[in-house]
Amino acid sequence: MEGPSPENMKMPERPLFLCVLANTETAYIEGLSAAGKTAKLTDYTPPGDAEVLETGMVVDIPILPMTPPYDTPTPALITRVALDLTGVKHMLVNAGLKILPAKIVPLIDISGSPGKDIREPIAVPDAQGIFERGFKLGRELKDKYDFVMIGESIPAGTTTANAVLAALGYNGNVSSSASTNPLELKKQVVSEALDSSGIKPGDLRNNPMEAIRCVGDPMMAAVAGIAVGLEDIPVILAGGTQMATVFGVIKHLGHKTDNITIVTTCYVMNDTSAHFTQLAEELGAKAYATDPGFGQSRLQGLRQYEAGFVKEGVGAGGAIYLTQMFGIPVERLRTEIEILCEKLSKYGDIDRVK
């Protein structure tokens, strides 16, 4: 069902944007994730996103998170500008990073470890512990804020989401940061992941944390825990099929979900290679899509979003939603994103990677 439009959302007095960062070695499979120039360089994507979100530029991370072949910029740009324009506070959560961002970037560490390749029998050994520590954080936040939006940054997260959905019994394609969704490769990886863990589709419908432990990633466990810990306050899961999967985990854990809305970009909602709308309907989730109008941008890198590159990430769809809640025109948002994009293009030389 369609979620509430931003114009119809009650304006919060104490809103918070929270971004959960993690890695999974599933991203090392060549051709799976476009969230980095090479598979190994995806380790730099979440900390790079964190630096952009916090400072407006890369600091210690030697490359700007880009999607080849046109260097389409990280959606962290969108989120950074949206948070600047709205003045909404933000928080960054380390749920299992391979590489940390610069020390000037404050992180809440919930003691998670990077996820393993989901083709191994156990992908997230401490999934339950990460969930519980996320839950504790959510409980702490619910008394300080009256509206929480949660985004994520984890390369290959759509593939791990596909595997968890399969373990829960949902059959459908997930989106991709690439313009051409590598569906056959994803299906092969998911099939091998389920086999290695001795799981058949639907086997873990009543045990979603085991699904994450076997074939998921640390981000899912953390976001699910935080959202459950927030209890009754309005929660926006800012993302596409990955956040729909987290919604499914929360639902199958038996927790209430009527305070949760999934908000993504129109680029995910309109992705014909994925089934986001169908998945949201099957889950009984409220979902809404935002449009930054990048097709009208003067920058090719941003126009590539319209061509199917990147699509979503770092809570971008939700961040656009925030600006609409605050009555900020999309033209102003797009102009400010273009300015920051040009500024950032001077940083992040790939030759600095040792």
Distances (CA, A) of 147 to 13, 14, 132, 237: 8, 7, 21, 11
pLDDT of residue 172: 65
The C-alpha angle 96, 66, 222, rounded to 5 degrees, equals 20
Rounded distance, CA 78 to CA 181, Å?
22
Q: Read off the amino acid at residue 1.
A: M
Residues 20-24 have a mean pLDDT of 98
Rounded distance, CA 320 to CA 71, Å?
21
pLDDT tens-digit profile of 100-155? 999 999 999 999 999 999 999 999 999 999 999 999 999 999 999 999 999 999 99
The C-alpha angle 28, 31, 36, rounded to 5 degrees, equals 65
Phi, psi of 348 (to 5 degrees): 75, 50
Give the H or E element holding residue 236.
strand 235-238
Q: Using alpha carbons, select from 6, 4, 5 the residue that is nearest to residue 322.
A: 6
Q: Using alpha carbons, select from 325, 256, 245 the residue that is nearest to residue 287.
A: 245
Residues 6-22 have a mean pLDDT of 95
- CB under 8 Å to 197, separation ≥6 — which residues? 121, 122, 214, 215
Going by pLDDT thresholds of 50, 70 and 90, the confidence category of residue 343 is confident
pLDDT of residue 165: 96
Per DSSP, 116 falls in state: P
Beta-strand ranges (E) seen in 4-157 are 15-22, 66-67, 72-73, 89-96, 108-109, 147-153
Q: Are 25 and 156 in contact (CB under 8 A)?
A: no
306 has a pLDDT exceeding 90: no
178 has a pLDDT exceeding 60: no
Rounded distance, CA 74 to CA 245, Å?
22
Per DSSP, 144 falls in state: T
Q: Using alpha carbons, select from 142, 319, 318, 127 the residue that is nearest to residue 228.
A: 142
pLDDT of residue 328: 97
pLDDT of residue 228: 98
pLDDT of residue 68: 62
Q: What is the maximum span of the chain, computed from C-alpha positions, in angstroms?
A: 51
pLDDT tens-digit profile of 260-284? 999 999 999 888 776 899 999 999 9
Q: Are 118 and 163 in contact (CB under 8 A)?
A: yes
